[in-house]
């Protein structure tokens, strides 16, 4: 009985570790997609600057449209554990 408990405990720990790894990978993929989208938006805006008469503001970031601000990045703590 005790051996079965130990085996189940090891199985649960390995499952928990795998779930954490998958969550971290998913979060990383989502963040990378946001960064890629922001880079494409910046590149597209740069291509069409000569067509627009109004000046571009430097404080407007494409990441603001998805809710990522300087405060959100510094206030949030990320951990791999």
Q: Tell me how many domains the chain contains.
A: 1
What pLDDT is stored for residue 22 in this prediction? 96
Taking a C-beta distance cutoff of 8 angstroms, is the pair 56, 49 a contact?
yes
Structural domain contains residue 51: yes
Structural domain contains residue 39: yes
User: At 38, which helix (H) or strand (E)?
Assistant: helix 2-47
Structural domain contains residue 81: no
| pLDDT profile of the chain (81 residues), mean per 10 | 92 95 94 87 72 58 60 53 47
Structural domain contains residue 80: no
User: Domain residues for 47?
Assistant: 2-75
Q: How far apart are CA 26 and CA 32, in angstroms?
A: 10
What pLDDT is stored for residue 50 in this prediction? 63
What does pTM read for this prediction? 0.50
Q: How far apart are CA 33 and CA 29, in angstroms?
A: 6
Q: How far apart are CA 31 and CA 2, in angstroms?
A: 43
What pLDDT is stored for residue 41 in this prediction? 82
Q: How far apart are CA 51 and CA 30, in angstroms?
A: 32
Structural domain contains residue 45: yes
What pLDDT is stored for residue 81 in this prediction? 47
What pLDDT is stored for residue 48 in this prediction? 65
């Amino acid at each position: 009985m005790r051996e079965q408990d130990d085996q189940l405990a090891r199985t649960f720990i390995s499952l928990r570790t795998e779930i954490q790894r998958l969550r971290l990978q998913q979060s990383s993929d989502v963040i990378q997609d946001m960064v890629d989208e922001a880079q494409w938006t910046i590149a597209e805006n740069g291509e069409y600057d000569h067509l627009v008469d109004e000046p571009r503001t430097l404080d407007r970031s494409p990441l603001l449209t998805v809710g990522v601000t300087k405060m959100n990045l510094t206030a949030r703590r990320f951990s791999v554990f």
